[in-house]
Structure 1
Amino acid sequence: MRICLLVPSAYGMRGDIRSVVNLAGGLAERHDVEILSVRRHREKPFFPVEPGVSLSWVVDAQPGVRHLFPRGQMRTEVALWRRLRTLRADVLISTRPGLSVQAARHAPRDIVRIAREWGRPPVPGPIRKFYPRLDTVVTATDASREEWGRLLEGGPEVRLIPDALPTEPWPRSRMDNRIVAAGGRWVPAKAYDRLVRAFATVADKRPDWRLRLYGAGPEDKRLRALVQDLNLHNHVYFMGTTSDLGGEFAKASIVAVASRAEVFGMTVIEAMASGVPVIGFDSPRGPGEFVTDGDSGVLVPEGDGEIEAYASALLALIDDERRRQMLAAGALRAAAAYEVSSVTEQWEKLIAATSRRL
């Protein structure tokens, strides 16, 4: 079976890209799989793509590449429209609402067309108009499934299939390093400033523990300035970006998440698969969609005194090695639901069932 996964860019470091790359690798074991990137802005993808997966793009946006038409949104939309009209595949999985609308409008109707959704439904007009042409909508969490189900009531079926971990062997933490790790894009929604402020209390009381921050983004300068202001330069380390975040998490004994919304959740899933307990805020659409408080991690209430509460929760976990080991075991059990073989099987069953309906 020929399966095409349509993404805005396969070359970035977002959680949804990681999820698509992982799924493609799992499906490629039994199918002809292509990742179709609308834009290509660098020579190689940030996340390694399995050798059995082909990678192509619609518009090459690398510096120095000359084009027949001027750059711009219109050129990209026309190029995508042409590519979709001539797409040769049995299944098309689009991974953003804007791309799913284009797939509904322009992809051949004899192709199984599936929208893969992570976040909340955006402006509903185009979705209500064009999504009924799609065959299925698949979400990664229960909360998203309920929201999309309400929006598309009477339209295509909305199913739940979680994200997949990578196909390669997964490293396991020995839980013997005095390291708290955090990783992802440094953007306001990830609220790394809350984590840094909380860790100031930890560093004061447990100075032998360190916080490692992996990633990059527009919050870089602000976070570095905050570390300097709080005199944490010997306690908080900026580790840069890595395509092997799971391997880095396996060096830690706690993974900290401070985000206000953990839409993609790959950071949390990778931490649990590394056998590391996760501590995060109990916010709507936050890590609580993946972590069970007291079983695979710790959830801290948001609101007044949240920084102090988060610091206290970190210290309690640091001081209780037995509890950390118990939560680590729970994290490994929870991560089993995201193994690529299990997730791939769910996708194959969905595709087969959808194909029979057409």
Structure 2
Amino acid sequence: MNDHQRHITDNAAARPLRVLYVVPPSKQFAGIERVTDEIASALAEFENPRFAVSVLYFRDYPEVVDPAYSVIRGEAERTRHIPGAVQRVLDGQGFDIVVVPQFEIAFLCLLQDRLRGRRTNIVLHLHGNPEIERAVSLKSRVLFAFLKPAAPRFAGVIAVSPGLARHASAMMGGGVEVAHMPNPVRQLGDHVQVGEGALGGRNFVTVARLAYQKGHDIAITAFRRVVDEFPDARLTIVGEGPERPKLEALIERLGLGDNVRLAGMVADPSAELSAARAFVTASRWEGFGVAIVEAMSVGLPVVAAKCDFGPEDLIVAPELGVLAEPGDPDALAQAMIRQLQQEPHPEHVGIRRRHAAASAKAAVVARHAAYLAGLRLGNLKEGARA
């Protein structure tokens, strides 16, 4: 690199890295929405390197209050409208990196960007299960056929769990590096911990939206078997969603009205977690498993379905919890019954909390910052060689 090229590189590195995050027009402020808000907020306040962060939203979310980043409002009701909205934002201002979730959206943004003659550095951020995403419709399956040839054209590809990263890399032909960038998770144990009395009790808790993906019907069916063994066992389900009527009917049909409670939406589930013996999740699929980490941050052991992806990346030691076959109420019930039969281990609370701390916001955002800064440096080097 000559002196002129080094001067350009140094000047670029001295200014804030301009990053745009794209949030799909979801009706719920849940996974992607909340994760993006937390990462963008923390990056906007990061010191070294510095970031100028904007988030493109297509809906108003009451949960977004005075963010540290700049909010850009766009118009898009469907996936196909998002790439045009992104291009309109790029027409008005420049960004070093654009981070787009989900392959279908990211691919369309990349395609339209190249058709417009741009070379925007677009990062694909994988949150969920690509197999589920491409099974949604014929259009999705067609677009996923372009995953392998399109992958090298992204400036970077990141995934929220190691399992998802490995799976995505294989789908892309193995020639593209997919970086594992975990989601930031609230450390609820910073202000409340599970008590010895709760660990010795028979209360289970789960925290998740009442949606088919989360497998609450599997957990409730399994709990019928648990109650047959331990009539005083209790399950609290924290969350709200479209599956509530079906779950209420299932609870009534199984005669679990005194044992299973749908607690509704709770912004901070610390009280429910700290009063439980164990956390249980029967998800059919995941991308990461934020609720699992929140539970471990309080000190709870976890009983989880070994679904794709997330749980087996998080529950990596017996002290942390146990995995059961996914979609199998009997296997899940047996795991919960074993949890009640064994002696509690209060000394394992600290192990779980330390394991959860690896996903604390400060640690996670530092990894994101280093990754994005590395992309800029790499692109500048490529430009200098050109």
CA 1:73 to 1:295, structure 2 compared with 1: closer, same or farther past 3 Å? closer
State how 1:27-46 maps to structure 2 within 5 Å: 27-30=43-46, 31-37=51-57, 39-40=58-59, 42-45=60-63
Task: Give CA-to-partner distance per residue, 1:55-88, whole Å, 9 cap, x none.
Answer: 3331277xxxxxxxxxx66655543432344343
Paired with 2:243 and 2:231, the residues of 1 have a C-alpha distance of: 25
Identity over aligned residues, as a percent?
A: 24
In the TM superposition, residue 296 of structure 1 has moved relative to its aligned partner by: 0.7
Instruction: Give the 3 Å change call, closer, same or farther, for CA 319–156 of structure 1 in structure 2.
Output: closer
Pick aligned residue for 2:130 from 105, 120, 129: 120
Alignment-derived partner of residue 137 in structure 1: 157
In structure 2, what is the equivalent of residue 336 of structure 1?
357
How many aligned residue pairs are there?
341
Query: TM-score scaled by structure 2?
Result: 0.77
Query: Once structures 1 and 2 are overlaid, which stretch shifts more, 196-205 or 269-278?
Result: 196-205
In structure 1, distance between residues paired with 2:155 and 2:271: 37
Match of residue 72 from structure 2: 56
Task: Give the unaligned 5+ runs of structure 1.
Answer: 62-71
Q: Relative to 1, partners in 2 of residues 1:169 and 1:310: Cα closer, same or farther, differing over 3 Å?
A: closer
Contact 2:188 2:298 (C-alpha < 8 Å) held by counterparts: no
Kindly state the Cα deviation for residue 104 of structure 1 after the two structures are TM-superposed: 2.0
Q: 1:23 aligns with which of 39, 44, 57?
A: 39
Deviations 1:176-205 (A, max 9, x none): 334311121222232211211222233344
Residues 147 and 92 (structure 1), Cα distance of their counterparts in 2 relative to 1, 3 Å cut: same
- 1:11 to 1:56, Cα distance in 2 relative to 1, 3 A: farther
Pair 1:353 & 2:374 matched:
yes
SS of 2:255's equivalent in the other structure is: coil
What residue is the counterpart of 2:170 in the other structure? 150
Distance in 1, matches of 2:360 and 2:271, equals 16
Select 1:193's aligned residue among 217, 231, 234.
217
Deviation readout 1:147-186 (Å, 9 max, x if unpaired): 2223334765321111111488844332333431112122
* Superposition map of 1:143-222 within 5 A: 143-153=163-173, 156-166=176-186, 170-175=190-195, 176-177=197-198, 178=201, 179-222=203-246
SS at 2:45 equivalent: coil
Pairwise CA RMSD? 2.9
CA deviations 1:77-131 (Å, max 9, x no partner) are: 5434323443432322111212312432345956542111132364433333443
Residue number in structure 2 paired with 1:4 = 20
Deviates more, 1:199-208 or 1:235-244: 199-208
1:297 has 2:321 as partner: yes
| CA apart distance, 1:297 | 0.8
Aligned counterpart in structure 1 of residue 332 of structure 2, from 310, 321, 325: 310
Contact 1:18 1:266 in 2 (8 A): no
Greater share of helix residues, 1 or 2? 2
Quick one: structure 1 residues 59 and 168, their matched pair in 2 at CA, closer, same or farther if it must change by over 3 Å? farther
Higher-Rg structure is: 2
Give the structure with the larger strand fraction.
Answer: 1
TM-score (norm 1): 0.83
Query: Structure 2 stretches of 5 or more lacking a match?
Result: 1-15, 135-140, 380-386
